[in-house]
Amino acid sequence: MRKIAQILPSEITPRIVFEERRKILQVAASGALGSSLMPWFSRDVFAANSSTKLVTIQNPRYSVMEKSTSLEDITGYNNFYEFGLEKTDPAVFAKTLETTGWKLSVEGLVNKPKVFGVEELLKLAPLEERVYRLRCVEGWSMVIPWVGYSLSTLLKAVDPQGSAKFVEFVSLADKKQMPGVNNSVLNWPYVEGLRLDEANHPLTLLTLGLYGEVLPKQNGAPVRLVVPWKYGFKSAKSIVKIRLVEKQPLNSWNVSAPNEYGFYSNVNPEVDHPRWSQASERRIGDPKGFFAPKQKTLMFNGYADQVASLYAGMDLRKNF
């Protein structure tokens, strides 16, 4: 098997994404923002997404003792296809996202369905800063000081019914605000899902900020999910609806490419992507860039002690 360093850039992106790039660039170029804007040339991109300070408490129980990735890298290198297919697109184009008056509907198999405003979400529980690893399926990783609280707090507030087995997350899909929704890479809106026990695990974070401030738009403002033991695409961004359901949700990437992206998508160095190895990763922000030494990928992204019991008896090659 080839090593990651030998893989061509076009192979490190899902084929359908590679084929759609020209379309999304044409859409972007036709808008108010020129495609020549590059986030690494100016800090104006970050200023345009400036955040509000949050009152947080540190949670060492869930935090890793690793150096956090810089804010510039966290906000400048993202997968958020609603704003473009390139890693740098969200930092440029997400400024069109309107978060004022955002509503999150929690519904389905619950006894107390409710529509939450962001202010209500911020006050539902004390905000904790947790330093989590984020591992993406393409072979790169970051260490991010997220701000939020366990998703179980929100789920408890709506009183799940006994028949609820899974939780479905639906992201905003608005062509007026999100140029990437004009492409056909995925069936929009973006949908993700977890088993109810995964959703209720204390590590699963309802995320409202990072680095002590509200979420930047390119990172999934104003509310997103973070599931640190799974590949990054499981952590849905800019969520507008959470539904508790009985049957396993059809999550977007599994529908688009079922042989490459499974429902569970647990970080597992022993299960390769069909087109590259998952055994090692490259930490974003290393001064050596692409030439920095790779590090060994950890089972469940290093959270095996906390979450391995969720999958006892399961074939993790079949349930990838």
Rounded Cα gap, residues 58 and 74, in angstroms: 20
Q: Percent of the chain, pLDDT > 90?
A: 81
What does pLDDT average to over the chain? 87
List pLDDT tens digits, range 291-307.
788 999 999 999 999 99
The residue count for the chain: 320
Backbone angles phi, psi at 130, to 5 degrees: -125, 130
Q: Is the domain defined by 4-308 classed in CATH 3.40.50.2300?
A: no
Where does the pLDDT of residue 12 fall: very low under 50, low under 70, confident under 90, or very high at 90 and above? very low
pLDDT at 148 over 50: yes
pLDDT at 52: 84
Contact 96, 104 (CB under 8 A): no
Contact 288, 294 (CB under 8 A): no
